[in-house]
Structure 1
Amino acid sequence: MKILLLSHRALFPQNGGYPIVVYNTIKGLVALGHEVTLISLDEKRKTDRISESDPILEKITYRPYSIDISVSIWDAVRNIFSKTAHIIDRYYAENVERVLIKHVKKGNFDIIQFEGLFVTPYLQAVRKNTAAKIVYRAHNIEHQVWARLAQQKSDPIKKIYLGMLARRIKKCELHTLNGFNGIITFTHQDEETIRAHHIKTPVLVMPICVDLTKYQPDYSKTEFPSLFFLGSLGWMPNREGMEWFIESFHSELTSGDLRAKFYLAGNDIPEQFDEYETPGKIFIQGEVDDVLEFMNNKAVMLVPLMSGGGMRVKIVEGMAMQKCIISTSLGAEGINYTHGENIIIANTKQEFYDAIQRCISDEHYCRSIGQNARSLVEEHHNFEAVTNKMVNYYNRLLGNSNPL
């Protein structure tokens, strides 16, 4: 089977949930013998991080194209009086569309998969130039993310602006979904949202998968007690969740009863977060060289998400690393968890405090939660099983009774 994947981010290195998901999909498809082409939009952003060569690049056709998605103050002001969602439109570039059409015409693809809403400005051009089945993978329901962000805002101007943006994204998103032959979501909650809006396109729920051979926990390296968060603060729900957590618990972590070091790591951490750092107690580390080693060295993973959507890749990865995880219900959305057995759910400040207090005082309890979490990932997020499910879905869309 010849498969083209379109992504709105460069995948190398895998320094966030989105590139990890798309990368694992490619790796799984290649392992099953399918011919994969990846076209990614590479955001024009300066970075000090060097992307290492990846072995998978020798097994696929890879075409990255630079695109400038920056928004000026004038663009933001002008958008207030527009009816479109600039957050999506900024990913469109005529030169990218031209080269994309050439690839589509020459590729003779069976499946073309759009990885999220931000590559959909190219849907019409692709549709006109291919007989392939076109699939949309909803990494989340984008308008829900922005609507939940608006709900969290106390500033009335920000609330109004984000609410307006959410409505525009919703209009675009729902209209776009009807233009695909198939839709893949990570969670049943996202499937229900799509069906509630009478989208006629068939939907498959397929959870995030990980290659478990990469996740090898070693308790001898784990600092206990310790707390950590790992994720991109360029994604607004992560940033707001972290602001809430640190502001809520800064005094307890630095001079109160929560006697455990807290580590914050990830990319795109704003400079103002440096003000939270407290020597020997709160560490703002930024992007780390080895994500899994960082996880391995810490004990309790925190996911205080108050907005957002979809399934959190970092939770699945944390579970694979046998981490004891404390998360909000929203953060753990889509994962077939059991509270108190393979994850701890906390939705209020008091619930987070109680959960942290118990975890940092009982290492055996933490380990049992982590071990059960690993078992859950082995059962529901198995790399091979999930990839096979995706390929079977492709074959049904193509009308094939047997795999290609």
Structure 2
Amino acid sequence: MKILILSHRVPFPQNGGYAIVVANTIKGLVNEGHEVSLVALNAKRNSHDSSLPDEDLMGKINYRAYDIDTTVTMVGVAVNLFSKTSFNVDRYFDPGFETLLTRELRNNEYDIIQFEGLFMSLYMPAVRKHSNAKLVYRAHNIENQIWWRLSQQKIDPFKKSYLRMHARRIKNYEQQQLNKFDAITVFTRQDKNTLTDYGIEVPIEIMPVGLRLEKYKPDSRKTEFPSLFFLGSLDWLPNREGVEWFLESFLNDITSGDLPVKLYVAGNDIPERFDDYEALGKIFIQGEVDNALEFVNSKSIMIVPLLSSGGMRVKIVEGMAMQKCIISTSLGAEGINFTNGHDILIANTRDEFYDAIQRCIRDEEFCIRLGKNARLLAEKEHDINVVIKNLVAFYQACCK
């Protein structure tokens, strides 16, 4: 098949969940013998000097990237107050990119065009006008749910009202747009049920996160036990909110010794104010790490304190593949076919997190057993080779 992937960020290097999913999909499709093109926005805040595909992909895909500035300004936010749409969506529209995309569609015919997330749906009218391909939407999250859940965590009435306003606007946009696609894929049954409740009538298929499991080679000889860690981009509001809650909740316990364990926080775009949480020999705010998998391997207990989220968290699936003992909220582990206490520990309150951490740091054998079970679950349900075969079958059904 001839497949075009439209992405709102360049998925190279693979330094975040979105990039990992998109890049693994492209590599999987190429390995199955399909002809793949990628047309991506290269947002200023996500741009990297090494924003090129892996060398082994360079000669196998057609690749276009377009620079765009998605920076949020106070003026832009103020103007958007009087709009019917959300600035979080609108800032991804660029007439120059639409022109580039139109040129691509005039010069090439595709069987499938896959839109990676809501922001790329802004270009659907142009795609429909210039292509007869089947249009598939991949819901990385139900976007309005994230904003609504963020609003639920706010005490300030203005912030709560503001976030709810954007949640409503994004929900209206999602409901208007998604029925215009030919098909939709989601990562979780929860997301499928939500879209069905919204009145979405096009075919919806569940396709879990897929990893190239041969890349994930845990080595317990290099693992510090006990140690807690978080890894994720803190420019994503749910991550920032969750980590800040965790640090505020457990700062004294970790620094005073009630929880005799070190905490490491790593990822992209960590705000400077997080440096205030550092405590000598106890809490380490590391920022971006050179090798994410080496970092994950070097620590023993992954925390995922998400309070507002949606979709499937790629970092949890990666942690499973690396045989990590994982403590997550129910929202953080949403969509993963876990058994609490067998392959993941679920904690939704401060007390539950405290008890789970105490159990893990006191019982290394329990942590090891949980991690091994997590790896088995990853092998069973998140092998990219299986996911891609199912995705291609779905594409073929759409084209009949």
Tell me the TM-score normalised to structure 2 length: 0.98
- 1:303-354 deviation digits (Å, cap 9, x = unpaired): 0000010000000000000000000000000000000000000000000000
Q: How many angstroms apart in 1 are the aligned matches of 2:312 and 2:44?
A: 27
SS at match of 1:393: helix
> Shift of the alpha carbon at 1:84?
1.3
Q: Distance in 2 between matches of 1:59 and 1:288?
A: 29
Structure 2 equivalent of residue 388 of structure 1: 389
| Counterpart residue number, 1:402 | none
Report the counterpart of residue 38 of structure 2 in structure 1: 38
Question: Does residue 225 of structure 2 align to residue 218 of structure 1?
Answer: no
Cα deviation 1:346-383 (Å, max 9, x = unaligned): 00000000000010111100000000000001001111
Match of 1:6 in 2: 6
Compare 84-93 and 110-119 and name the one that shifted more: 84-93
Answering whether residue 345 of structure 2 is matched by residue 344 of structure 1, we say yes
Residues 51-85 of structure 1 deviation map (CA, whole Å, 9 limit, x = unaligned) = 57612222111101001111221111111111111
SS of the residue corresponding to residue 149 of structure 1 reads helix
The letter for the 2-side match of 1:148 is: R
Aligned residue type for 2:259: L
Instruction: Tell me how far apart the structure 1 counterparts of residues 325 and 127 of structure 2 sit (CA, whole Å).
Output: 44
Q: Which runs of 5+ in 1 are unaligned?
A: 400-404
Give the Cα separation in 1 of the matches to 2:36 and 2:102.
Answer: 17
1:314-333 alignment to 2 at 5 Å? 314-333=315-334
SS of structure 2 residue aligned to 1:194? helix
Q: Does the CA-based 8 Å contact 2:308-2:331 persist in structure 1?
A: yes
Distance of aligned partners of 1:25 and 1:46 in 2 relative to their CA distance in 1, 3 Å threshold: closer
Distance across 1 between alignment mates of 2:198 and 2:53? 43
Residue type of the alignment partner of 2:117: G
Deviation of the 1:268 alpha carbon: 0.7
CA shift, 1:244, in A, is 0.4
Map Cα deviations across residues 271-326 of structure 1 (whole Å, 9 max, x no partner).
Answer: 00000001111000001010000000000000000001000000000000000000
Partners of 2:228 and 2:261 within 8 A in 1: yes
The residue type equivalent to 2:388 in the other structure is T
- The CA deviation string for residues 200-222 of structure 1, in whole angstroms up to 9 with x for no partner, is 11100010000010000000000
Partner of 1:298: 299
In structure 2, what is the Cα distance between the partners aligned to 1:52 and 1:89? 26
How many corresponding residue pairs? 399
Q: Quick check: 2:10–2:42 contact (8 Å CA) kept in 1?
A: yes
Does residue 21 of structure 2 align to residue 21 of structure 1?
Answer: yes
Partner Cα separation in structure 1 for residue 166 and residue 7 of structure 2:
22
Question: 5 Å matches for 1:231-246?
Answer: 231-246=232-247
Gap regions ≥5 residues in structure 2: none
Please report how far the alpha carbon of residue 48 of structure 1 lies from its aligned counterpart in structure 2 after TM superposition: 7.5
Letter matched to residue 85 of structure 2: T
CA-CA distance at 1:23 after TM superposition = 0.3
Counterpart Cα distance in 1 of 2:62 and 2:118: 23
> What is the identity, as a one-letter code, of the residue corresponding to 1:274?
D
Distance 1:326 1:43, change over 3 A: same
Give, in angstroms, the shift of residue 47 of structure 1. 6.6
Q: Which residue of 2 aligns with 1:87?
A: 88
**2:12–2:50 CA contact under 8 A, matched in 1:** no
**AA partner of residue 145 (structure 1):** I
What does residue range 130-145 of structure 1 map to in structure 2 within 5 Å? 130-145=131-146
Q: Deviations over 1:222-265 (max 9, x none)?
A: 00000000000000000000010000000101113111110000
Runs of 4+ in 1 over 4 A off after TM superposition: 46-53
Query: Any idea what SS the aligned residue of 2:276 has?
Result: helix
Match for residue 68 of structure 2?
A: 67
CA distance in 2, matches of 1:4, 1:347: 40
Q: Report the AA paired with residue 29 of structure 1.
A: L
Letter in 2 for 1:390: L
Alpha-carbon distance in 1 for matches of 2:155, 2:260? 31
- Call closer, same or farther: CA 1:104–1:175 in 2, change over 3 Å: same
Aligned to 1:299, what secondary structure does the other structure show? strand
Change (3 A) 1:348 1:267: same
What root-mean-square deviation, in Å, do the aligned CA atoms of Structure 1 and Structure 2 show? 1.1
Question: TM-score when scaled to structure 1?
Answer: 0.97
Query: 1:124 and 1:26 mapped to 2: Cα distance?
Result: 24
Counterpart position of 2:59: 58
Identity of aligned residues (%): 59
Partners in 2 of 1:348 and 1:362 — Cα distance? 21
Deviations 1:130-178 (A, max 9, x none): 1100000000100011000011111111000000000000000111001
Task: Give, in angstroms, the shift of residue 46 of structure 1.
Answer: 7.8
Query: Aligned residue for 2:164?
Result: 163
Which one-letter code corresponds to 2:70 in the other structure? Answer: I
Q: Given the superposition, is the C-alpha separation of residues 67 and 201 from structure 1 closer, same or farther in structure 2, using an over 3 Å criterion?
A: same
Q: Which amino acid aligns with 1:123?
A: M
